[in-house]
Structure 1
Amino acid sequence: MLTIRSRKHTLATQPLLNQSLLAMAAIGLPLAVHAQAQEKTMAEVKVEAGADVPYKADRASSPKLTAPLLNTPQSISVIRKEMIQEQGATSIVEALRNTPGITLQLGENGNTSAGDTFQMRGFAAQSSIFVDGIRDLGAVTREAFNIEQVEVAKGPAGADIGRGAAGGYINLVSKMPVREDSIAASLGLTQGGVKRGTADVTRSFGSSGAFRINAMAQDGSAKGSNALDRESKGFAPSIAWGLSTPTRLYLFSQHVRQDNVPDGGNPSVGMEGFYNAGEALRKAPRVDRNNWYGIKGDIEKVDADMFTAKIEHELAPKATLTNTTRWGKSKMDRIMTGIYTVAMPSAAPSTWTVSRIRQSVLQENKILANTTNIFSEFTLGGLQHTLSTGIELLNEEQFSPSRLASSLGAAPAAKLYQPDQNDALTGFKPVLSGAFSNGKTNTVGAYAFDTVKLNEQWQLNGGLRVERYTTSTDSATLNTATNALTGSHLEKSGNLASIKAGVLYKPAADGSIYLAYANSKTPPGSANLSLAAQNASNANNPALKPQKTSNLELGTKWDVIQKQLALTAALYRTTNKDEFPQLVDAVSNTWAQLGERRVEGVELGAVGQLTRAWSVSAGLATMHTEIKEGTSGNNAAGAASRWSPKVSATMWTAYKFDDRLTLGGGVRYMGEQKRLVDPSQAAASTNMPAIPHYTVVDAMASYKVSKHVSLQLNLYNLFDKFYINTLNNSGARATLGAPRYAQLTANFIF
């Protein structure tokens, strides 16, 4: 793969599950108290952590988090660009492999999800992605070339971000201009022929100005398949005035173009756990993982543009006003061929086929946002306060016109074991049907967060957000028998109030123990700004009230080894209520809501340096999910949550032998992800009941050839593990993890 990277890259691959290190992290928590006590009598040994400890971040970027991560009563992971670059990660989904508890989703039966679709702590999270603190909707696969760091906040966070966020949220921090002159670039090539290049150019001008340009280009077949061509281009210019002065102005934008061949997945026949009532299909071998079942000409085009202006002004030595305005637009146009059912006209597998389904997604998302924040530190009544207050104004819109289904053409069934992308379509003349959905949400929100230092041992942390939202959906549906369009207008408005509160005890300067509570609310239409008909029994019915999610967390955090290594541990319990609607009276359209879903578990983490030469990032998460009050099927009482592994873990480590050679590697483990969770249903059902557990190992080596040039070799899936990445809701098709492959990258720094 071709990749252009910025300065300070070493090579790495994917995460590593190393039980000895995780055990060390857990054991080290109580021992840290003794270590900190010793520091008080050995002041000459105490060393403050440098600002550039690989992998470790001391603070998150959001001004809403009013304390360093060490003193923040919440589970927050920060994935820094150094580790992203070491691993050769090119997308946000790949970067998120460095934190446990996140799983991907493929979609409903014959349909295929678009863009970054995943769950976090058992709840859907694709509508909880933010860029520089501003919500970023859109059915797109987000690039990593312009990312400084990825911040993952676990647990309900309505006080932080507003509606939704039952499992947490993800914030992508953009690269910004700094006062330095540098050029960094990389060229990479994968074993399969993918070429990628990125560039990062920074220049200062005048007494306080700087500009920065990040760019990316990629072309070639996707990992593991010769048919899945991926072409991406990205450009992100930024400029700043007033750096190191009381008033700073930033103007920046990002532009991404993608021209991809979409992947509808492979039939799950023959995979571990596959079941069919027919013996022949039940015992059939699996298909080649490099097979592609689409039709030549399938497309997925993405245009994404974002413009931002930010001004910062220091009102006083410890008070800063920040105002940010953003306009963003993304468009995704996809016409693809999915697969559905297997047919066996004879006993010979060479005659077996799988039916194809033509699909279309045309979606445009827009956002206009203005946020104002005042961050201040002061003493009041003898207590130290760190206060963050602000106002947010947002206008979000999603427009989805529909194509006439018959105009997408008819695709012949594909041979199960030898699909042909050159199979001929009939009747392919795509036209819009006139049907559409246009959803809008306007939000006015206000918030306040405060960290109060009572003394050297005790701190209080609290936050409150109130917002007024209005969601409206205009739509038209097509009657294919009469070609008549029927329009509708649905609207839902209301007020939401969310809180967070925590008490934190510091037994030592570099350690903390906390107990925290937080909640969030998810009104109808939160995920895609789309309301359903008022007689619909789903979460987007405007007659319903918001779902309520709460979280209780007990945790501890320690900075050890002279603040070079951060150790974290947390116990959590998340409860979601009012999830399932039931119609009480059809005449008055009266609905009742019931349901209680509980997710509880443990998270452990270790991020930073074990020695000056040895860096590590490791995490382990457990999830026990159960519906305490439900309806039937997968939502029955006693059922677990779909796609929620009981255990997941990740680890990445790198060792720098000298100024030239660095070796690294990683392991990620994903426990079984169940599709069938109905406690009354037998495991032996049609297709795949679950995604089997898997472990993937990666390796990396980097060698500095000269002052300006280094070479990096990444080996992915070192033991060529066959595993399922995502599975659709019927269990009939899956997208597969990439087979073993290599990527060689040349990095240049000037």
Structure 2
Amino acid sequence: MNLRLSRLVPSLAFTTSFAIAQVQLPPAEPGVKIADPFVKLDTLVVSATRTEKPLIEVPASVSVVSLKDRENKGLLRIGEELVGVPGVTLRQEQSGVEAALVIRGAPERHLNDTFLLLLDGVPFVTPDDEVLLESVPYGAVDRVEVVRGPVSALYGRGGVSGAVAYSTREVGDQAAGELTLSYGSNNYFAPSLVYGTPVSDTNRLLVRLGHERGDGWRDRTARRSSSAFLKDVWQVTPKLELTLSGSYSDTEQQIASHLPLRADGSIVAVTGGREANTNIDDARSERTLWFGTARAKLAVSDAVEATFTLHHRDNDSLYNGGFNEGFDEVAETIRWNGFRGDGSDQTTFAEAQVSWKTARNHLLVGANHEWIASQDRETWTGQYGFDFATFDFYFYNQFRSYRTGALLNKADWIQDRLLDADTDVKVGALFVQDEFKATDRLTLTVGARLDRFERDVAFGPTTEENGTVTLPGSRKADSDDNLSPKFSALYQWTPQLSTYFAYGEGFSPAFGPVWSFGGRDTTLKPETARNFEVGVKGEFFDRALGLTATVYRLERQDLLQYVADGVATKTINAGKQRAEGLELQARFDLRAVAEGLSGFASYTYTDAKWIKNRFIVDEFTGEEIDLSGKSVVRVPKHQFSFGLTKNLPAAGLALSAWYDYVGDYPVDGLNQLVDGAHGLANISLTWRPKQASQWEWSVVVRNAFDKEYNLLRGTSREPVEAYPGAPRQFLTTLRYAF
């Protein structure tokens, strides 16, 4: 199997296309309609229960982010729409690559492997059991539902801490379109077009095209992306509806580096300052992705509906970048692992679900199967081997001066293929859920899902630059199963007030990345989680105030850890983790204070700790580390957001201002450095002239006061790097509806 150092190799992530085009066309009447970030409690949602029902009747902690809110805030990167959503922490460090989310303090093992990503109900999970947010066609998204708490009882693997469910654009009954042109800081430019029309009495079609480009605010961080999305809805018979959708995207993003971070939290000054990029040459991510989905809904009777889904996607990706190997402040150098990963995967997903409604019951029964075939090739370039002069071991290291930018040891570089793997993943499941209305006010929900998951990897031989075989090929396979139950009780006191209790379990196969699978111990268990929560949802003062509050406890066990065995890597089950917290969100209609005034607020308290996490870091040296009792890295205890919007209908204007705050968090596993708190103020202005209401113009200023802040990272032992946050950014958008 391929070699690895004792430190974890950061995950490989790639990016796909997005744009800031619109789906919901602007209303024709004068004035500007600004959507609340937190919608009203009668809004229908689906993802938390697989059944469509108002938020106030859902026994789970759910937030909805609308397309209009994304537009108002001028959001360009997927994941940014979740800033301010209770219970969610966003880490976006590498200029649009690797948007990482932590939900309810459950840290990722590799990349986004503790929550589930859904697109129109289809799981988007990699062969490594990871989630790449950038694989979602962002410009095609109409809205986002965030479910906090395990969802494995409904959706299976990965649903340990929650789910982020994206829904694509709906197709309207009338012909309508919108042309959008955006321009912003650092030469950002994004035109897009969306048009929907009835093709016939039984067919409706929507097409969306988008392109974007930008230089990036740091050196060598340019981006370009093109995308297309299509949805076609056929009313085949009065009882049968067929929806066909497809997406294509092609994206390239140059990748920025970190800045060296000292143990005390201070940043080493490098030539070029915060804009400097010391990554390896030609550091970039490329992705070409297409998918197609067919969904048929059949109304068997007034009480029974069957849904059949077939989805296929094809993803080709490249990641060329350096992994941080530390810095030498005396020599003024940064040391990188030189890495290139070429990947391709093909996923086919099929699901059948039957819904049966009676006066008191809503029963769901379903089955699905997923097949994934992937090919991974890893090539490492740099200085390799033990240096007796420095008494140091180099793992494909590239030394770069952070003063001059020069590469210092290029004459010593070699290039080796350390991974050549073909992977097959199969996941099959049966699930059932029953919502039982015990009384007119009390609803009980029980459900469970049984998953069977398999991985089979054929490893090719590893080779040196001259073609010499260093390790022969091998094969590794493992399989397991897991049963995930759920239970909840919701009591609706009035049409505007409800309380609930929920229990749910989640799991991850804990197979880990393919590169760590060759030495796998097949007795390893899946990671599991249990979640208990109590919540209240209500609207008060004639619906002028909407409020939701949730208290929860999430417990995880049998967590997968990577351990270095000499220069190789193996995986073990080690540790328990728990998170407790409070999630609050509110919206305000303040017209009693001032006409056209509204607001929102959210607050998150998260206490995430390792209950037991003691293991050997390196079996070759016997080095041990104990994180038991320590707080989880990069999970702030406190986060909050609030904002106000003032509508001036007579002038066709709307002004919004909002503030997002992230508190201090532990940077390293031993909690030696706690830092990173920052708050950002933002404003937007939208104008729709009365005489030409089909036009709309907006200006958004993010980080309006140009606050300097950093996102800090560390290993289990020490702080190691800082990613500078973006300075003040402007975006102006012109929209024309036709």
TM-score by length of 1: 0.81
The residue type equivalent to 1:646 in the other structure is: K
Structure with the bigger RCO (C-alpha within 8 Å, sep 6+) is 1
Answering whether residue 613 of structure 2 is matched by residue 620 of structure 1, we say no
* 2:532 aligned counterpart, secondary structure: strand
* 1:621 aligned counterpart, secondary structure: strand
The residue type equivalent to 2:638 in the other structure is: V
2:357 to 357, 377, 389: 377
1:441 to 422, 425, 428: 425
Q: Which residue of 2 aligns with 1:238?
A: 231
The residue type equivalent to 2:261 in the other structure is: S
Q: CA–CA distance in 2 between the matches of 1:189 and 1:13?
A: 23
CA RMSD of aligned residues (A): 3.6
Q: Say whether the 8 Å CA contact 1:595–1:627 is kept in structure 2.
A: yes
Q: CA deviation at 1:182?
A: 0.8
1:520 to 484, 495, 506: 506
Q: Say whether the 8 Å CA contact 1:66–1:451 is kept in structure 2.
A: no
Answering whether residue 364 of structure 2 is matched by residue 388 of structure 1, we say yes
Change (3 A) 1:518 1:314: same
Q: Which residue of 2 aligns with 1:6?
A: 23
Q: CA–CA distance in 1 between the matches of 2:279 and 2:573?
A: 41
2:245 to 252, 264, 277: 252
| Deviations 1:550-589, CA, capped at 9 Å, x for gaps | 0000111113455575421011001112226799xxxxxx
| Deviations 1:320-376, CA, capped at 9 Å, x for gaps | 211110001222212234554333458xxxxx3433442212222321001111223
Q: Which residue of 2 aligns with 1:341?
A: 326
Q: CA–CA distance in 2 between the matches of 1:66 and 1:239?
A: 22
Q: Which residue of 1 aligns with 2:375?
A: 399
Q: CA–CA distance in 2 between the matches of 1:559 and 1:528?
A: 45
Q: Say whether the 8 Å CA contact 2:70–2:81 is kept in structure 1.
A: yes
Q: CA deviation at 1:177?
A: 1.8
Q: Say whether the 8 Å CA contact 1:211–1:238 is kept in structure 2.
A: yes
Q: CA–CA distance in 1 between the matches of 2:609 and 2:328?
A: 37
Change (3 A) 1:616 1:89: same
Q: Which residue of 1 aligns with 2:641?
A: 650
Q: CA–CA distance in 1 between the matches of 2:627 and 2:358?
A: 52
Q: CA–CA distance in 2 between the matches of 1:357 and 1:529?
A: 19
Q: CA–CA distance in 1 between the matches of 2:41 and 2:276?
A: 37
After TM superposition, the structure 1 = structure 2 runs for residues 178-577 of structure 1, keeping only pairs within 5 Å, are 178-222=172-216, 224-242=217-235, 245-268=238-261, 273-274=265-266, 288-294=273-279, 297-337=282-322, 340-345=325-330, 352-379=332-359, 384-405=360-381, 413-416=399-402, 419=405, 433=417, 435-478=419-462, 480=464, 482-525=468-511, 528=513, 532-534=517-519, 541-560=521-540, 562-563=542-543, 566-577=546-557
Q: Which residue of 1 aligns with 2:63?
A: 77
Q: CA deviation at 1:620?
A: 1.4
Q: Say whether the 8 Å CA contact 2:599–2:643 is kept in structure 1.
A: yes
- Structure 2: unaligned runs, 5 residues or longer: 1-17, 27-31, 127-131, 385-394, 564-569, 616-623
User: Which range moved further: 200-209 or 597-606?
Assistant: 200-209
Q: CA–CA distance in 1 between the matches of 2:589 and 2:455?
A: 47
TM-score by length of 2: 0.82
2:43 to 39, 42, 57: 57
Answering whether residue 649 of structure 2 is matched by residue 664 of structure 1, we say no
* 1:95 aligned counterpart, secondary structure: helix
Change (3 A) 1:314 1:620: same
2:575 to 574, 595, 604: 595
* 2:494 aligned counterpart, secondary structure: coil
| Deviations 1:700-731, CA, capped at 9 Å, x for gaps | 00011322211100001011111123535353
* 2:356 aligned counterpart, secondary structure: strand
Q: CA deviation at 1:645?
A: 1.0
Q: CA deviation at 1:459?
A: 1.3
| Deviations 1:664-716, CA, capped at 9 Å, x for gaps | 1221111122122426xxx3xxxxx3441111111000011322211100001
* 1:559 aligned counterpart, secondary structure: strand
User: What is the identity percentage for the equivalent residue pairs of Structure 1 and Structure 2?
Assistant: 17
Q: CA deviation at 1:4?
A: 3.2
Q: CA–CA distance in 2 between the matches of 1:201 and 1:230?
A: 26
1:700 to 678, 681, 684: 684
Q: CA deviation at 1:592?
A: 8.9
Q: Which residue of 1 aligns with 2:566?
A: none
* 2:358 aligned counterpart, secondary structure: strand
Change (3 A) 1:189 1:75: same
Change (3 A) 1:342 1:218: same
Q: CA–CA distance in 2 between the matches of 1:204 and 1:261?
A: 41
* 2:23 aligned counterpart, secondary structure: coil
Q: Which residue of 2 aligns with 1:631?
A: 614
Q: CA–CA distance in 1 between the matches of 2:543 and 2:355?
A: 26
Q: CA–CA distance in 2 between the matches of 1:268 and 1:12?
A: 41
The residue type equivalent to 2:432 in the other structure is: A
| Deviations 1:639-666, CA, capped at 9 Å, x for gaps | 1212211111233443322161011122
Change (3 A) 1:212 1:677: same
Q: Which residue of 1 aligns with 2:103?
A: 120
1:163 to 131, 151, 157: 157
User: Which range moved further: 228-237 or 614-623?
Assistant: 614-623
Count of equivalent residues: 671
Q: CA–CA distance in 2 between the matches of 1:412 and 1:624?
A: 39
Q: Which residue of 2 aligns with 1:747?
A: 735
Change (3 A) 1:290 1:170: same
Q: Say whether the 8 Å CA contact 1:374–1:390 is kept in structure 2.
A: yes
Q: Say whether the 8 Å CA contact 1:119–1:126 is kept in structure 2.
A: yes
Structure number with the higher strand fraction is: 2
Q: CA–CA distance in 2 between the matches of 1:158 and 1:314?
A: 27
Q: Say whether the 8 Å CA contact 1:81–1:149 is kept in structure 2.
A: yes
* 2:79 aligned counterpart, secondary structure: helix
- Structure 1: unaligned runs, 5 residues or longer: 16-24, 26-52, 276-280, 347-351, 584-589, 684-688
Q: Say whether the 8 Å CA contact 2:86–2:603 is kept in structure 1.
A: yes
| Deviations 1:24-57, CA, capped at 9 Å, x for gaps | x9xxxxxxxxxxxxxxxxxxxxxxxxxxx68983
